[in-house]
Amino acid sequence: MNLHKHYQREVKLFVKVCRRLARNLYVTGYGGNLAWKLEDDLVLITPTQMNKGDIRRKDVVFVNLAGETVEGERRPTGELPMYLKFFHERPDIVSVIHCHAPAVGALAISGGENYLMLPLYPETTTEIGPVPVVPYGQPLTQELADNFGPYLPKYNSFIMENHGLVTMSRGDIYWTLMNVELLEATAQSIIMAVQLGGGIKTLDYAAVKRLGEVMHLRNLPLFGAPGVNASLEALYFGE
């Protein structure tokens, strides 16, 4: 089967997302990578050492969950071990974006409080959830992949210490892109609020509980692996 032809709609959307990330300067140079699980054992992934703004349809790579290239002219991203860990340990996840969005990147090198663990806006609270800091690991290594281990069951987005952002979702690659953009906008608001002074205001327990009820009514799944988190308020307030 010619996978590029069979999945031409998905490949077209994948390339569109790559170029939008580059246009927004969420990825620069060869940085950042994307992956989209199209079948149980088939992943569409970005090639190594290419600016995401230059990627064309023929450049994308199809791999299986053993890390073997199934189809593609180029080698897959060197962060493949990280993606294999994600898809093996979170089979509910469909797509993942790793990028270096500037405001989230500022939080990744900040020595202050991680405000993205707090409920700040309704949209970020219900669509992104808390975002923990994953300890630094050398890029392109199994060490980096393994550092996600304690955090993967509970969360869907992660600040990579001194590195960048990883966001994953049960939706397609465009849905995950929208989550990245929402998270970056929230990080920008945090930085500006800190500059204004007066501290950061958060949603209280009752507000988060009501948002959790809205998620339930809308049949929106909680963040993390299925069954791990009891409720939205428990996730944020540690019940």
> Collapsing DSSP states into helix, strand and coil, what is residue 162?
coil
- Helices 173-196 and 8-23: angle between axes, nearest 10 degrees: 20
Number of domains within the chain: 1
Whichever domain contains 228, its CATH number is 3.40.225.10
Helix and strand totals (H; E) in the chain: 9, 8
* Distance of alpha carbon 72 from alpha carbon 62, whole angstroms: 6
Residue 130 is encoded by which pair of tokens? 């808390």
Spell out where 115-172 has E strands: 133-134, 157-160, 164-169
Neighbours of 187 (CB within 10 A): 24
Residue 179 is encoded by which pair of tokens? 């989550």
Residue 161 is encoded by which pair of tokens? 């210490």
Q: What are phi and psi of 10, to 5 degrees?
A: -65, -40
Neighbours of 10 (CB within 10 A): 17
Look at strands 157-160 and 133-134 and give their pairing. parallel
* Distance of alpha carbon 87 from alpha carbon 95, whole angstroms: 9
pTM: 0.96
What domain range includes position 82? 3-237
**pLDDT tens for each residue of the chain, 239 residues long:** 799 999 999 999 999 999 999 999 999 999 999 999 999 999 999 999 999 999 999 999 999 999 999 999 999 999 999 999 999 999 999 999 999 999 999 999 999 999 999 999 999 999 999 999 999 999 988 899 999 999 999 999 999 999 999 999 999 999 999 999 999 999 999 999 999 998 999 999 999 999 999 999 999 999 999 999 999 999 999 86
